[in-house]
Structure 1
Amino acid sequence: MTAWRDVEEAVPRFARTVRALFDARKHQTIATVRADGGPRISGIETAFEGGELTFGSMPGSRKGADLLREPRFALHSATVDPVDGAEAEWPGEAKIAGRAVPAGPITDGPEGDLFRADITEVVHTHLDPEATMLVVEWWTPDGGLRKAERA
């Protein structure tokens, strides 16, 4: 299992950047797999605590049922548009994919089910310093940190 602490230890600067993008807004988006195999997109709140990435679902929610049946997920940070004339200052967007591991009931706040992330991929998409190319950096437990640039 790959916890968030493993990402922080392997690539500290990259992990700080990704976490900042998730922490910048309260709400993110999660993709799960529906019972019929199709995708489901839902709003979600995430937490980085004690070296773990966690998230929850309300009792009886479709999102929670999806994760209990098929644990694969993809999280997407909230996004903002680059500002015209200041594109190089755009922080970009972040994505985290993996498998949701049931972690029991939520004990703080509203009732629900808590999940821990077993992380398979972390991505940061942003612009180069001149704002002329899209830069995609991604980390996997097996492949480490990689980077691609596209004009």
Structure 2
Amino acid sequence: MVGWNEVEKAEPEFAASVRTVFEKSKHKTIATLRADGGPRISGIEAEFDDGDGELTFGSMPGSRKGADLARDPRLALHSPSVDPPEDAPADWQGDAKIAGRAVFTHELTGPQPGQGFRVDIDEVVRIGLNAAGDQLVIQVWRPGRGLREFSRK
């Protein structure tokens, strides 16, 4: 597993496109694992920290996602998602997903107490459309494996 800065070093253009998609809106979606092993989906604000090159987020005190992550740190983050423009589907920005593990970094203090985390990354996926707008283009990056790309109709 690696930090976001390693993705940027390994594949700068890919990382920039993923970050653009993630930053198109403040709110993202996080998936965690409940105590019974089932999935839990929650809204979250996640940020790319330019200071240390990490992908970070916080959890409010007593939140279920925080309890999930304390028990099992595996997670998936999904970017904001919008429909492709009907008149120009190839202009769709697509969406992106990041899977990995939450690593507790510090207690948050101030007006919004809670816990701060960074994401150790297992996989980054970027989905968009080809220039004609008639095929999905899927890019997958994993540490040690590099970037792969494939298309689907």
Partner of 1:94: 96
Q: Distance in 1 between matches of 2:18 and 2:110?
A: 25
TM-score, length-scaled by structure 2: 0.96
Secondary structure class of the residue paired with 1:85: coil
Partner of 2:86: 84
Amino acid at match of 2:53: G
C-alpha deviation, 1:143, in angstroms: 1.2
Give every structure 1 segment of 4 or more consecutive aligned residues whose post-TM-superposition deviation is greater than 3 Å.
none
* Within-5 A mapping of 1:107-146: 107=109, 109-146=111-148
Structure 1 residues 21 and 108 mapped into 2: Cα distance closer, same or farther (>3 Å)? farther
**1:8 has 2:8 as partner:** yes
Partner of 2:38: 38
Q: Distance in 1 between matches of 2:149 and 2:110?
A: 38
- 1:85-130 deviations in whole A, cap 9, x for unaligned? 2000000000000000011112465101011100000000000011
Q: Distance in 1 between matches of 2:43 and 2:65?
A: 9
Unpaired runs of 5+ residues, structure 1, are none
* Within-5 A mapping of 1:16-35: 16-35=16-35
Aligned length: 151
Deviates more, 1:3-12 or 1:105-114: 105-114
Q: Distance in 2 between matches of 1:22 and 1:40?
A: 20
Secondary structure class of the residue paired with 2:69: helix
Amino acid at match of 1:71: P
Secondary structure class of the residue paired with 1:16: helix
C-alpha deviation, 1:142, in angstroms: 2.0
C-alpha deviation, 1:19, in angstroms: 0.6
- 1:14-48 deviations in whole A, cap 9, x for unaligned? 00010111111000000000000000000000011
Q: Distance in 2 between matches of 1:114 and 1:6?
A: 20
- 1:33-78 deviations in whole A, cap 9, x for unaligned? 0000000000000011120000111001000000111000000000
What is the CA RMSD across the aligned residues, in angstroms? 1.0
Amino acid at match of 1:138: V
Q: Distance in 1 between matches of 2:16 and 2:110?
A: 25
